C-alpha cells in the first residue's frame, strides 16, 4: 500500500508524525511526505520536522504566501504531478489549512481516495477560511477520521453516511504524549533563560482577526501590558505579527516578547504556564490534556469539547474582559487534567488500522 501524506503548516506535522510512525510499523506500507511550503519559514519548519523525527519530504512544493485562491491553486498545480508519479492508494490530509483543501481536491479529481484526519470539526463561523476548508474537504473525502463525538454529530447532521465516519481520537495528543518527557527536560534551561521564577501567562496569537486588525490587537496589547504589571507574560511572536503590531505592544521587564519557538520549547512552557492565552485550535486541545487553564481569544471554537470537558473558555478581544479572565484563571489555578475519550496517545494506531482495513 502506498500512502501520500500532505502537510502544509507546522500544526500538520504534529498530526502526520505519529501516523507515519504507526504505519511504518505495519508490513507492506510505503509512505511519501509532501511539504507544500504554505508555512514558508524554512528554519522554523525544519525545527518542527527535526523534533518530530519526520523523514525528508519526497517533494517540497514551495508554495509560500499569497491569497487563499493563489495558495490553493498553486498547491493543486504543483501537487498533481506528484500524485501522478507516486500513484498512492490513499492521500492523507490533516487539519483545515488551504493545503488540506487543495490536496483533497487534486486527489479526488485524479480518482485517488482521500482520508481526512481531524474531520467533522465545525465552528459555525463561515467567516473563517478554515471553516470553509473543513466543510468542503469533508464533503469530498472518502474516509473521515474524527477526534470527538461532536465531530461525528456534525457530519451526520450534514448527511454523511456512517460508513465514512471513524472516530479515532486526537492524533495531536499522540505527539504531545510522545514528546512531553523531552519537553520537560528542556524546561529548567528555559526557566533560567527567561527568568521565570513564579506564575506566568503564555501567549500565542496568529489569527488575522486578532493580529491583523489594529483595533483588536490594541485591545489585546493593552490587556497584556496591564497583566504584566502583576505577572510575567511570555509571548513568542511570529515576525509577521511583530511587523504588524507596530507600537500596539511594548515589551517591559515582565512582558517578554520572544522569537518563535520550536514545538518542544513551546510545549515545555505550555506545560508549566499558569494560564495560556491563545487563538490556536491545537493549543486549546493541548491545554485541555495538560490541565492548564486556557483562554481562547475568539467568539467561536471548532473544538467545543475543550470547553465542555476541558480547561478552555472563550473571551472577546476586549481589554477589560481579557484582564478579568486571566486574573480569574490565575486565582483558580490549575485543575486535574480531564482527558476526553480516545485522547490517549494511540489515535495514530487506530488510523493506521482503518486505512489498512479499507
Kindly state whether residues 45 and 144 are assigned to the same domain.
yes
Q: Look at residue 279 and tell me if it is in a domain.
A: yes
Kindly state whether residues 260 and 350 are assigned to the same domain.
no
The total number of residues shown for the chain amounts to: 358
Q: Let me know: does 23 contact 5? Beta carbons within 8 Å.
A: no
DSSP 70-132: HHHHHHHHHHHHHHHHH--SEEEEESSSHHHHHHHHHHHHTT--EEEETTT---S-TTSHHHH
**pLDDT band at residue 123, thresholds of 50, 70 and 90?**
very high
Closest CA to 101 of 68, 127, 126: 68
Closest CA to 76 of 13, 136, 127: 136
CB count within 10 Å of CB 64 equals 13
Rounded-to-integer distance, Cα 58 and Cα 44, Å: 19
Kindly state whether residues 31 and 79 are assigned to the same domain.
yes
Kindly state whether residues 252 and 271 are assigned to the same domain.
yes
Kindly state whether residues 158 and 267 are assigned to the same domain.
no
pLDDT at res. 246: 58
Per-residue pLDDT tens digits for 191-205: 999 999 999 999 999
Kindly state whether residues 294 and 347 are assigned to the same domain.
no
CATH number for 151: 3.40.50.2000
Q: Look at residue 337 and tell me if it is in a domain.
A: no
The structure's pTM equals 0.94
Q: Across residues 66-86, what is the average pLDDT? A: 96
Kindly state whether residues 47 and 154 are assigned to the same domain.
yes
Kindly state whether residues 107 and 206 are assigned to the same domain.
no
Kindly state whether residues 224 and 277 are assigned to the same domain.
yes
Range of the domain at 277: 179-332
**Pairing relation of β-strands 165-167 and 200-204?**
unpaired
Per-residue pLDDT tens digits for 317-352: 999 999 999 999 999 887 776 789 999 999 999 999
Report the catalytic residues.
206
Average pLDDT, the chain: 93
Query: Domain tally for the chain?
Result: 2
> Above 70 in pLDDT, residue 141?
yes
Buried b (16+ CB within 10 A) or exposed e, 115-144: bbbbbbbbbeeeebbbbebbeebbeebbbb
Q: Look at residue 338 and tell me if it is in a domain.
A: no
Amino acid at each position: 500500500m502506498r500512502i501520500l501524506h500532505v502537510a502544509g503548516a507546522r500544526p500538520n506535522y504534529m498530526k502526520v508524525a505519529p501516523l507515519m510512525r504507526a504505519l511504518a510499523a505495519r508490513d507492506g506500507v510505503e509512505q511519501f511526505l509532501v511539504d507544500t511550503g504554505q508555512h514558508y519559514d524554512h528554519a522554523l519548519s525544519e525545527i518542527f520536522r527535526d523534533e518530530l523525527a519526520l523523514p525528508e519530504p519526497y517533494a517540497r512544493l514551495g508554495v509560500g504566501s499569497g491569497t487563499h485562491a493563489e495558495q490553493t491553486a498553486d498547491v493543486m498545480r504543483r501537487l498533481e504531478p506528484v500524485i501522478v508519479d507516486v500513484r498512492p492508494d490513499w492521500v492523507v490530509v490533516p487539519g483545515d489549512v488551504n493545503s488540506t483543501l487543495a490536496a483533497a481536491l487534486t486527489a479526488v479529481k485524479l480518482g485517488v481516495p482521500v482520508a481526512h484526519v481531524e474531520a467533522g470539526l465545525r465552528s459555525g463561523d463561515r467567516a473563517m477560511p478554515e471553516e470553509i476548508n473543513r466543510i468542503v474537504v469533508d464533503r469530498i473525502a472518502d474516509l473521515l477520521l474524527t477526534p470527538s463525538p461532536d465531530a461525528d454529530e456534525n457530519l451526520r447532521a450534514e448527511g454523511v453516511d456512517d460508513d465514512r465516519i471513524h472516530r479515532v481520537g486526537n492524533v495531536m495528543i499522540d505527539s504531545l504524549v510522545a514528546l512531553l518527557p523531552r519537553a520537560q527536560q528542556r524546561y529548567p534551561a528555559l526557566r533560567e533563560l527567561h527568568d521565570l521564577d513564579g506564575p506566568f501567562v503564555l501567549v500565542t496569537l496568529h489569527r488575522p482577526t486578532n493580529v491583523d486588525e489594529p483595533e483588536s490587537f490594541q485591545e489585546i496589547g493593552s490587556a497584556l501590558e496591564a497583566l504584566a504589571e502583576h505577572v510575567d507574560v511570555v509571548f513568542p511572536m511570529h515576525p509577521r505579527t511583530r511587523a504588524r503590531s507596530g507600537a500596539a505592544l511594548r515589551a517591559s521587564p515582565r512582558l517578554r516578547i520572544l522569537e518563535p519557538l520550536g514545538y518542544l520549547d513551546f510545549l515545555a512552557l505550555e506545560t508549566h504556564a499558569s494560564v495560556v492565552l491563545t487563538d490556536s485550535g491545537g493549543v486549546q486541545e493541548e491545554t485541555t490534556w495538560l490541565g492548564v487553564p486556557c483562554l481562547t481569544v475568539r467568539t467561536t471554537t471548532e473544538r467545543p469539547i475543550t470547553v465542555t470537558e476541558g480547561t478552555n473558555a472563550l473571551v472577546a478581544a476586549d481589554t477589560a474582559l481579557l484582564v478579568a479572565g486571566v486574573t480569574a484563571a490565575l486565582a483558580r489555578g490549575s485543575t486535574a487534567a480531564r482527558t476526553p475519550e480516545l485522547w490517549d496517545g494511540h489515535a495514530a494506531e487506530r488510523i493506521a488500522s482503518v486505512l489498512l482495513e479499507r
